[in-house]
Amino acid sequence: MTIERVAIVGLGLIGGSVGLAVQEMLPGMATTGWDADTDVRQRAAGRRLVGEVCDTVAEAVRGADLVILCVPVGAMGYAAEAIAPHLEPGTIVSDVGSSKRSVGDALAAALPDAIVIPAHPVAGTENSGPDAGFPELFRHRWCIVTPGKDTPPDAVDALTRFWEGLGATVEIMDAEHHDLVLAVTSHIPHLIAYTIVGTASDLEDVTRGEVIKYSAGGFRDFTRIAASNPTMWRDVFLSNRDAVLEVLGRFTEDLSRLQRAIRNGDGDTLFDLFDKTRTIRRSIIEEGQDDAKCDFGRGDHCGKLKILAEQYLLSGKSDVALLDLLGLYLS
């Protein structure tokens, strides 16, 4: 099976990056795209995210060998229903969502005549929208593909070659196992980030200006994660609730154990955990999943944060939300 024409539904960060990556790395492959938002379609056309930005979803998917749904996981079912009447039998339909069991079920129910192969490129940034995409997003990143037991092997091979062509390393995985793994490595960290930034913003004894002015490196990393698309992450938590709640229960138990250790002055328990986590950090760097440079290879934040904090304090706009201000810095 050969993929010669790709249709991308949803032209935000991931969809736009797929379109740009295909044009750069698989130039012989035709690309079409569509987004439900007229403004997004106009911006996508201006950036040439795909070969042709279509006015209707029917135009976009007509004749496609592969359709990739790049929409929030909560909208996957609706997107599948929208494209269903316009697909040719045997078209491969995939997605980029961060939860796989619920998405796979929704796509299979809406697209009985298509070859449904859920996938998850484990890549992204805190930015979103058609202006955020870039062609290198998937290079040296994992893409987890979760085919069903009856999925034709040649279709799985075709989708695998597609993602490898964009620079990703492909892993085949069971959908339920994917959801559990990603609950640990992605979903719970995002939940923690949203929570700690929200807690800092709501503390009565600490002003928002102080939170910004004196933010240390660890907190800045939390704010980067917490600036991620709220619609997308709302849908991720709801669609993967079983795995998230399972891991969250274990995390809560571990956090309570650390709380007891701090209360009891148990330094050995704290040290043992911190030493173990350092080893995990080194393994992540060795796998090429992050940068060993100081501050994760990012530039000097301190000067920018100081300027933003001063602007905030001088503005007198007490209704400016912490994340709005940090979003300006992070963009």
Q: What is the mean pLDDT of residues 52-70?
A: 97
* Predicted local confidence at residue 285, as pLDDT: 63
**Tokens, residue 114:** 């298509």
Is 22 found in the same domain as 151? yes
Is 48 found in the same domain as 100? yes
Q: Which domain does 267 fall in, by range? A: 177-330
Is 32 found in the same domain as 60? yes
Domain stops at, among 143, 173, 203: 173
3-state secondary structure of 154: helix
Lowest pLDDT segment from 52-66, 155-169, 262-276, 295-309: 295-309
Domain stops at, among 110, 141, 173: 173
Number of folded domains in the chain? 2
* Predicted local confidence at residue 196, as pLDDT: 83
Helices within 26-74 (DSSP H only): 38-47, 57-61
What burial class does residue 279 get, using C-beta atoms within 10 Å of its C-beta: 0-12 exposed, 13-18 middle, 19+ buried? exposed
Sheet holding 5-9, edge to edge: 52-53, 30-34, 5-9, 66-69, 92-95, 115-116
Task: Please tell me the distance from the alpha carbon of residue 310 to that of residue 315, in angstroms, as a whole number.
Answer: 8
Is 155 found in the same domain as 191? no
Strand spans (E) along 30-168:
30-34, 52-53, 66-69, 92-95, 115-116, 119-121, 142-145
* Predicted local confidence at residue 225, as pLDDT: 79
3-state secondary structure of 34: strand
Task: Please tell me the distance from the alpha carbon of residue 77 to that of residue 57, in angstroms, as a whole number.
Answer: 15
Is 158 found in the same domain as 17? yes
3-state secondary structure of 158: helix
* Predicted local confidence at residue 292, as pLDDT: 55
pLDDT > 90 in the chain, percent: 56
Render pLDDT for 85-133 as a digit per residue (tens, 0 to 9).
999 999 999 999 989 999 999 999 999 999 999 999 998 887 889 999 9
Domain stops at, among 126, 146, 173: 173
Is 185 found in the same domain as 144? no
* Predicted local confidence at residue 278, as pLDDT: 81
Is 273 found in the same domain as 299? yes
The total of other beta-carbon atoms located within 10 Å of residue 31's CB is 24
Is 307 found in the same domain as 159? no
Task: Please tell me the distance from the alpha carbon of residue 69 to that of residue 84, in angstroms, as a whole number.
Answer: 12
By the 8 A CB rule, do 76 and 232 touch? no
User: Which CATH number belongs to the domain containing residue 43 in this structure?
Assistant: 3.40.50.720
Contacts of 69 (CB under 8 A, 6+ apart): 9, 10, 76, 79, 80, 83, 93, 94, 95, 96, 97, 107
Is 166 found in the same domain as 191? no
Q: What is the mean pLDDT of residues 257-275?
A: 92
Higher pLDDT, 67 or 242: 67
Is 279 found in the same domain as 308? yes
pTM value is 0.74
Is 18 found in the same domain as 152? yes
The total of other beta-carbon atoms located within 10 Å of residue 223's CB is 24
Q: What is the CA radius of gyration of the chain?
A: 22
Per-residue HEC secondary structure of 226-291 comes to HCCCHHHHHHHHHHCHHHHHHHHHHHHHHHHHHHHHHHCCCHHHHHHHHHHHHHHHHHHHHCCCCC
Confidence band of 284 (pLDDT split at 50, 70, 90): low
Is 200 found in the same domain as 168? no
* Predicted local confidence at residue 315, as pLDDT: 52
User: Which CATH number belongs to the domain containing residue 301 in this structure?
Assistant: 1.10.3660.10
